[in-house]
Structure 1
Amino acid sequence: MADNDSSDIRILMFPWFAFGHMTPYLHLANKLAKKGFRITFAVPGKAINQLEPLNLFPDFVSFHPVTVPSVTGLPPGAETASDIPIFLSRFLAIAMDLTIDQLESLIKCISPKLIIFDAAHWIPQVARPLGIKTMCFNVISAASIAIVMVPARNIPTDRPITVEDLASPPPGYPSSTIVLRGKELRTLLFVTNPFGEGLTFHERITMAMKNSDVLVVRTCHEVEGNLCDYIGSQYQKRILLTGPVLPEESKSTLEERWSNWLAGFEPGSVVFCAFGSQIILEKTQFRELVSGFELTGLPFLMAVKPPAGTATIEEALPEGFEERVGGRGVVWGGWVQQPLILAHPSVGCFVSHCGFGSMWESLMSDCQIVLAPHLGDQILNTRLMADELKVAVEVEKEENGWISKENLSEAIRKVMDKDSEVGKLLKENHKKWREIINPKLMNEYIDKFVQSLHEVVR
């Protein structure tokens, strides 16, 4: 299993305290453990229980609990981004920065040869005096980094930033299709929000990237090569790519409740919808989307958090909804096994927010893809999928960002109708890309990354 010359290389991983970061870091840890590397995975103690089942090599990957300090503004007991609304993230960043003493002690204890990190911009200054190399591993798309997290994106510091400051892509940005339009540009304003004490999000991430020894992006050259080259030229650093780092073939089985329910429908007929762990819809938008699924006439499974101001999914559903859809529609407020649901023969369409992990999972699935992005990076991922790769359709939004039930239903029908020319074209393109981004290619990316890793720590 292991590369003999990897067993003496200890790696410390310290991702941002969000499952959308910790999970892909752990998937990468599994790939490296398979090659014989020993990894210490430093994350909040509460997160370890959820991550442990994903650790496929416990003899090589060990968790180290990090105590998240209490911070004014952070709810008591909050340790990860899933515990808080997104607007409180700045306080979680302050708490992360206060763990520096814990990390320094851990580093001195385990003497890693390499630290892989993202949001803790101070890691390089801790590691460099000790002769330890650092890699800033970005788990968002190269498109998201290239359009906003590059030195050429001049963020004014002497005045409040406006949408007009962000209206044009930075100089040299290599895509005319992966862009934000109109009011979508407002979603970029988040990069100027405080993220920690005295730091904006933009300052924190660009500092982490500038000061690390190597930049790593979770993508493929076949999909985002021009954007990766641009990032490398901007930072004048070597860029390593890991591929999408999807989890190994799951040994677990789909929960009986879902396997039994899905078994009652024709192959490729069910629409599955999931919007990730952080998105909480407004109640009116939630009801509109639910009505949109009802309008399709197709069987559907919608897995989302209860909308804002409600404790349960049931209390938020439109009146008479459950009676009207009967057994063909389920709206679920808890966690589901997304990859296993996408792999089920009855599922034929995936409606997604196009977070980066879900983007790759949809690309590697057999499902038709409908995208309803909410945040800036999700919109850019959507443009990559819909406009560049041409494997998905984006739900048309109203001027104010509202998704109507009619537009959602129309987008789903467009890809699910057997006679739809759009659906046929997307299916052909999707098949082509799935053949390109195959397991063999994914393994080659990991092999190249491992080889480069050895070169970095020599």
Structure 2
Amino acid sequence: MGSKFHAFMYPYFALGHMIPYLHLANKLAEKGHRITFLLPKKAQKQLESLNLFPNSIVFHPLTLPLVEGLPVGAETASDLPPNITGKVISDAMDLLRDQIEAMVRALKPDLIFFDFVPWVPEMAKEFGVKSVSYQIVSAACVAIALSPQGNPSSKVALRGHEANLYSLFTNTCQRLLVRITTGIRNCDVVSIRTCAEIEGKYCSFIERECQKKVLLTGPVFPEPQEKSVKPLEDRWNHWLNGFEPGSVVFCALGSQTILEKHQFQELCLGMELTGLPFLVAVKPPRGSSTIQEALPEGFEERVKGRGIVWGGWVEQPLILAHQSVGCFVNHCGSGSMWESLVSDCQIVFIPQLGDQVLTTKLLSEELEVSVKVHREDSGWFSKESLRDAVKSVMDKDSEIGNIVKRNRMKLKETLTSPGLLSGYADKFVDALEAEVNDTESS
């Protein structure tokens, strides 16, 4: 058993990054380690209920400095309007360096976890602290960041809209990819929220490229009993109870996806065309302040009783766990992808970003555990292509649906087999303890 360590965590200020970091912090705290979690003030309220070890995990709120383009009151990427990129958040996080250095000097942590802030390894070295690049994006995305000129280790061809999205991702996100790779190449420990059963070849590529061992944490979910502490909201529980087991289509596209109005309406109409009960949880489309004002004409009357489009936040894991939900339509963001794979639902992906395109390709074409919605080269998907994708996995006689279901159940069995995921987390903690012990004995 290694000695207990104190770790700082400095994730990118977006809920999709901070939540997985907090899940990992819970795992470290469970093993007796201490964590100082750096986050914006507003996010503390949103994350407090997920902190299972408040005596060991101390939130340290930071005030983001004003930078050009950052709206007043915005503290995370989720607070940004559609026309402003996450660059303003990372710019503001860069300006917190002096504050963080002062904290490192005062509290003397053993480790500091980070993802998109490339100067952390340099700062950590100055104070004799080990830096841990912990990436919650897929290993495929990290591999692409390290090898922007080609497809790492996999000969997957990207066509049409996929190629457009991928090149758009690598071009527009060049700054982000550089930030990730700089951090990875300079840090002491590379770690990724994935497992070899899904992304083994990408992890091997990253190890070869970085000349460093890559530590995998698995998805690091809360334990099932932790989820059940808080039941599903009555409104959704009552509504879902009105349908047959496995009959409802649940669609959620992540907190940062904002569709164009036309695409939002195609999404709604596609769900209507399935003929199945559905719950769609998405933000209002661009140019609309509410979901209601953007709905297609006559839509609410036609789907009354069997379809809901909701613009607010929902408890996604709890909805997926409800017996009536049989299909999960999502954007293949990191959290949604893992929640899909350990659920009993059929999976339909509509990727929105380049890294999501790569992960969708891996899961839909190589592992055949999901299907994706076909898009035109222009990038739009039609109501018919959404309907067809959902029907292909939900129709009992569908050949594709049965193949995908069989493969998905097999993968779920592997991922949820006793000790597999907890084993990843345990080995990860052991490796960190060894790192800290090496530092202390050298």
TM range (shorter): over 0.9
SS at match of 2:305: helix
Shift of the alpha carbon at 1:440?
A: 1.7
**1:153 to 1:398, Cα distance in 2 relative to 1, 3 A:** closer
1:416 matched residue in structure 2:
394
Pick one of 342, 345, 349 that aligns with 2:320. 342
- Give, as a single letter, the amino acid of the residue that structure 1 aligns with 2:62: V
**Which shifted more, 419-428 or 278-287?**
419-428
- Give, as a single letter, the amino acid of the residue that structure 2 aligns with 1:215: V
CA distance in 1, matches of 2:135, 2:145: 11
Shift of the alpha carbon at 1:86?
A: 6.6
**Which shifted more, 400-409 or 84-93?**
84-93
Pick one of 165, 171, 174 that aligns with 2:153. 174
Matched, 1:102 2:99: yes
Q: How many residues align?
A: 431
Shift of the alpha carbon at 1:363?
A: 0.4
CA distance in 2, matches of 1:204, 1:142: 16
Deviations 1:399-425 (A, max 9, x none): 211111111111111110111111111
**1:194 to 1:153, Cα distance in 2 relative to 1, 3 A:** closer
Matched, 1:216 2:213: no
CA distance in 1, matches of 2:55, 2:265: 47
2:43 matched residue in structure 1:
47
2:440 matched residue in structure 1:
none
Shift of the alpha carbon at 1:153?
A: 3.0
Q: Structure 1: any 5+ residue segments left out of the alignment? A: 155-167
CA distance in 2, matches of 1:106, 1:120: 16
Matched, 1:153 2:157: no
- Aligned partners of 1:352 and 1:370 also within 8 Å: yes
- 1:249-268 matches, within 5 Å, as 249=224, 250=227, 251-268=229-246
Shift of the alpha carbon at 1:245?
A: 1.1
Matched, 1:118 2:96: no
Matched, 1:62 2:37: no
Pick one of 6, 9, 12 that aligns with 1:16. 12
Matched, 1:37 2:37: no
CA distance in 1, matches of 2:126, 2:116: 20
Pick one of 334, 339, 361 that aligns with 1:361. 339
- Give, as a single letter, the amino acid of the residue that structure 1 aligns with 2:297: E
SS at match of 2:352: coil
**1:86 to 1:216, Cα distance in 2 relative to 1, 3 A:** farther
Pick one of 385, 394, 400 that aligns with 2:372. 394
- Aligned partners of 1:191 and 1:201 also within 8 Å: no
- Aligned partners of 2:170 and 2:354 also within 8 Å: no
- Aligned partners of 2:258 and 2:284 also within 8 Å: yes
- Aligned partners of 2:217 and 2:428 also within 8 Å: yes
Pick one of 176, 179, 182 that aligns with 1:204. 179
- Give, as a single letter, the amino acid of the residue that structure 2 aligns with 1:389: L
Deviations 1:412-457 (A, max 9, x none): 1111011111111111111100111115200100111011001111
Matched, 1:245 2:220: yes
SS at match of 1:229: helix
Matched, 1:129 2:129: no
SS at match of 2:54: coil
- Give, as a single letter, the amino acid of the residue that structure 1 aligns with 2:127: L
Deviations 1:252-288 (A, max 9, x none): 1000000000000000000000000000000011011
Pick one of 409, 420, 443 that aligns with 2:422. 443
Shift of the alpha carbon at 1:87?
A: 4.0
Deviations 1:176-234 (A, max 9, x none): 23x53234334334444488xxxx22221111111100110111111111110100100
Scaled by the length of structure 2, the TM-score of the pair is 0.95
CA distance in 2, matches of 1:186, 1:46: 36
Shift of the alpha carbon at 1:248?
A: 2.4
Deviations 1:287-321 (A, max 9, x none): 11100111111000000000100010011111111
- Aligned partners of 1:74 and 1:88 also within 8 Å: no
2:138 matched residue in structure 1:
141
CA distance in 2, matches of 1:290, 1:231: 40
Shift of the alpha carbon at 1:130?
A: 1.3
Scaled by the length of structure 1, the TM-score of the pair is 0.92
- Give, as a single letter, the amino acid of the residue that structure 1 aligns with 2:126: P
CA distance in 2, matches of 1:37, 1:86: 41
1:455 matched residue in structure 2:
434
- Aligned partners of 1:217 and 1:242 also within 8 Å: yes
CA distance in 2, matches of 1:180, 1:53: 41
Deviations 1:327-364 (A, max 9, x none): 10000000000000000000000001110110110000
Matched, 1:278 2:273: no
**1:422 to 1:185, Cα distance in 2 relative to 1, 3 A:** closer
Matched, 1:231 2:206: yes
CA distance in 2, matches of 1:194, 1:285: 23
1:162 matched residue in structure 2:
none
SS at match of 1:185: helix
Q: Structure 2: any 5+ residue segments left out of the alignment? A: 438-442
**1:236 to 1:274, Cα distance in 2 relative to 1, 3 A:** same
**1:257 to 1:136, Cα distance in 2 relative to 1, 3 A:** same
SS at match of 1:76: coil
CA distance in 2, matches of 1:322, 1:353: 24
- 1:282-293 matches, within 5 Å, as 282-293=260-271
**Which shifted more, 102-111 or 84-93?**
84-93
- Give, as a single letter, the amino acid of the residue that structure 1 aligns with 2:202: L
- Aligned partners of 1:14 and 1:43 also within 8 Å: yes
- Aligned partners of 1:114 and 1:133 also within 8 Å: yes
CA RMSD, aligned part only? Answer: 1.4
1:74 matched residue in structure 2:
70
